[in-house]
A and B are shown apart, each in its own frame.
Chain A
Amino acid sequence: MKYDEIDFQSAKTLNVAGHPHWRDGTGLAGLQKIWLLALSPAIVASIWLFGMKSARIMGLAIAFSVLLEALCNAVVKTKERTTNWHSVTLAVLFSFVMPCDAPWWLVLVGCFIMIVIGKKLFGGYGAYPVHPAMLSYAMLLVSWPRRFDYTASCSLIDWPVKMIEPLRLIKTGGSAMADMYRWQDLLLGKQVGGIGNALVLYLLLGGILLLILRQVPWQIPAAFLAGHGLMAWILCLIDPDQFASPFFYLLSGSTVFAAFFLAPEHTTSPANRLPMFIYGLLGGVLLMLIRAFSVYTDGLAFTILLINLCYPLLDKITPRVLGIEAVRNA
């Protein structure tokens, strides 16, 4: 081609942007899809164990959450899209702590608190200070404590175990009552609880998937479980009549659910490695303390809310910036 023949305007349709041009490719929707993939073993197990009761609650929660989110996005001008799947993940996490006989209005009120108050009022995905699902759970728990009596909700289910919440057994009867549950039953989720928060093995599978896919930094779940086990062990040494072995506490209630799915939530967990470790440790210890000394049998909601409030403070522990001395000397 000769120089005179060039049309310098010919390539106007080229796409330009700043570097880097390669992206990891996950995207916010992809991120949520991976979380849902990790939650799917527990979802399937929940439907298998509780039948249509759990499918009903999860379906209601997802429908209400997505509708409320779409409504909020329509009313308030925002960059966030309903299509980023975040409300679905939140709805699944929220429905996991519901009792299997929850009425529809309880789910609706929970979703309203979670999406409208817990998430959108603070500014949407990335702006809320505490986990919206746990905020909603805590408010419902305080408002309708009777509705969240898992033992009553599971009274019609016939499993070959003692149909009383394992943590309540320990709380009322001392460590001798721990023999009423075999560890296999606890692991396989055959324990009285919400529709998904006590499915230990399936949640563990999903959690390990999240760790392998590097979606969740290993520090938070590892420190959470370690802190919980350590605190339980110390209490067990002090008063073996009242407190069961650490393994019982790790396998019962929502310890694994909190360690893998609630504590490492992106927005409400620290960004640096050492603070993440302290955050997890704090969560584990706090969960055990609430279980041991409060009126609540499982301190899930309050543990997560309290450590979420601590995270900005923990994140002040930052690593040394490399090369900054040279800038100062220059």
Chain B
Amino acid sequence: MIPIRTLFKPLAHVPVYPSREENIERMPDPDYVLIPLEYPGQIFYKPTVKQDDAVRKNQIIGRSELGNCVHASISGVVKEIKPIWSSRSFNVPAVVIERNDHPPLSRDELFAQSGVPFQSASRLEKLKVSGAISPWTLPGRHHQEEDVREFPPIRKIIIKGADEEPTLFAFELLLRQEAEDILSGLKHLQQLAPNAAIFLTMSRRLAGWGTEKYGKHAAVVGLSDAYKDRIERRVVAKITGSDIPNILPYRKMGVAVLSVEYLLTMDRALEGEGPFIHKYLTIAGRPLEKAVTVRAPIGTPIRTILENRGIEKHPYARILVGGAMKGNAQFSDQTPITKSSHGLFLMDRDEIPEEINLTCINCGRCTRACPVCLQVHLIGRYVEYSMFEKAREFHPEACHECGLCAYVCPAHRPMAQLMRMAKQYEV
């Protein structure tokens, strides 16, 4: 029987994870890391190290065609370079480094390695050498690295200070705990793009404090805690006043969307405080009492992070990289965390519905939950019976894959996957 308490809530209301640790803990360096050299569709680094090379923390180990760099997150020896399964794709080349506790590379050594001294490097070069991939080359679905010599004509910059997912808290914690660095990052951003309007989204609870703190440098936008109000493309559409479909990168519309974590990375790069080798991520799920946010070196395997949190055996059935709504389930707990892993979520077997993909009962909850007003129940059934031409008449390409349709579905149908099939079908 369903707990009565959970019944009294509006449909399509995704609850925020109830408890969380406020401190961000710093994880020690793991015994080995697997640093992926490719973020499919985004960027590809060519390795600059070979097998058995000794590398030091902060050292450049890969460089993309346009000079963006990836760094060793621990000091050690390159064990091998081999294809791995990353959290979102497979056969990604990765550098395996085994730790040997040598001291990290200093700023000047790092910039000496790249050939440009820090003092004479341009801002763009500083960003590239520090591995802060330029945000205007990133978001969007079918994107490639683009050669951006100057700052592109971006009119609106939106900084995400509120986590999209209900189980992630890293952005919000950073917003409060690294306030000074974020302020300095905002100033840098203003210098980089003097003509752009900067918006900073944050939870409505923090908006008063945020306006006081950041109001001079950015327009603070308060968001409610509901997942429905935090879906990134909808937030961007509300702020900019125009919808940007999933198939277009933001920069084509003169908009850049970046997180506070990226802002911090950018600030550190421009101040010369070190490259992007650490990732903030929130770990939540039933084995933990509270959701904890940790700072871990990039490339740390999930297993190591969980062991560090005291989760030894397997009290979980499913590991997600990301949040509970949009995360990717992992087949192995040896998957390393990458620059785009914002969190881990552990699920128990009894949290997973036993029966999935029953027949649609036409209740229409998916359609009423859809943030872009798609006829989800019709599209889902057309795709189920391979009537793709029919399905495309209902504009499935406007879908943001937020997953609210599948969340409310009483028949536990894979609505998000059906929608994706409808989108990817070319007539």
Interface residues of A (CB under 8 A from B): 1-3, 6, 8, 10-28, 30-31, 33-34, 79-81, 123-127, 212-214, 217, 266-273, 318-327, 330
Contacts and interface: CB of A to CB of B under 8 A. Distances in A.
B408 interface: yes
Given A30-B2, A322-B372, A326-B248, A18 B416 contact: yes
Given A28-B358, A30-B2, A327 B247 contact: yes
B364 A24 contact: no
B38 interface: no
Closest 9 CB pairs of A and B: A271-B364, A323-B243, A20-B403, A126-B361, A266-B363, A16-B329, A319-B373, A322-B372, A3-B32
A269 B352 CA distance: 29
Interface of B: 1-2, 6-11, 14, 31-32, 79, 96, 98, 166, 233, 237, 242-245, 247-248, 252, 303-304, 314, 317-320, 324-334, 345, 347, 349, 352-353, 355-356, 358-364, 367-368, 371-375, 377, 394-395, 397-398, 401, 403-404, 406-412, 414, 416-417
Contacts of B377: 271
A6 B32 CA distance: 11
B362 A266 contact: yes
A144 B198 CA distance: 74
Contacts of B7: 34, 213
Most buried by B among A214, A268, A272: A214
A168 to B, nearest CB: 36
A19 B327 contact: yes
Given A1-B304, A34-B7, A273-B368, A18 B417 contact: yes
B410 A20 contact: no
Contacts, number: 197
Contacts of B318: 14-17, 21
12 contacts: A15-B347, A19-B401, A21-B324, A21-B327, A22-B325, A23-B406, A25-B2, A27-B410, A126-B362, A271-B368, A272-B367, A318-B373
Contacts of A8: 332, 334
B245 A322 contact: no
B372 A323 contact: yes
B417 A27 contact: no
B99 to A, nearest CB: 10
A8 B331 CA distance: 10
Main secondary structure of the interface of A (DSSP, over half): loop
Contacts of A319: 373
B296 to A, nearest CB: 16
B32 A15 contact: no
A321 B361 contact: no
A16 B31 contact: no
Given A21-B327, A323-B237, A267 B362 contact: yes
Nearest to B319: A14
A326 to B, nearest CB: 5
Contacts of A15: 317-318, 329, 347, 349, 352
Nearest to B34: A3
Nearest to A330: B248
Contacts of A31: 363, 410
Contacts of B98: 2-3
Contacts of A79: 358-359
A322 B406 contact: no
A322 B324 contact: no
Contacts of A25: 2, 6, 353
A157 B240 CA distance: 69
B165 to A, nearest CB: 10
Given A17-B356, A326-B245, 12 more contacts: A2-B31, A12-B332, A14-B319, A21-B327, A22-B324, A23-B409, A33-B1, A126-B362, A272-B368, A323-B245, A324-B243, A330-B248
Contact of A327 (B328, B373, B397): B397
Nearest to B14: A22
A277 B375 CA distance: 17
B358 A11 contact: no
Contacts of B8: 212-213
Contacts of A13: 314
Given A24-B407, A26-B2, A18 B360 contact: no
Contact of B333 (A14, A123, A126, A326): A14
A22 B375 CA distance: 22
Given A24-B409, A330-B248, A321 B373 contact: yes
Contact of B364 (A18, A19, A270): A270
A2 B408 contact: no
Contacts of B353: 23, 25, 27
Most buried by B among A23, A273, A324: A23
A10 B331 CA distance: 10
A81 B417 CA distance: 24
A322 B329 contact: no
Contacts of B31: 1-3
A31 B410 CA distance: 7
A184 B332 CA distance: 66
Given A22-B324, A271-B377, A28 B361 contact: yes
A269 B367 CA distance: 13
A226 to B, nearest CB: 20
Contact of A271 (B304, B367, B401): B367
Contact of B330 (A14, A34, A324): A14
B355 A27 contact: yes
A145 B319 CA distance: 61
B242 A326 contact: yes
A255 B321 CA distance: 52
Most buried by A among B328, B333, B363, B377: B363
Nearest to B363: A266
B205 to A, nearest CB: 22
A225 to B, nearest CB: 21
Contacts of B331: 11-12, 14, 16
Most buried by A among B98, B243, B244, B328: B243
A21 B8 CA distance: 21
Nearest to B418: A18
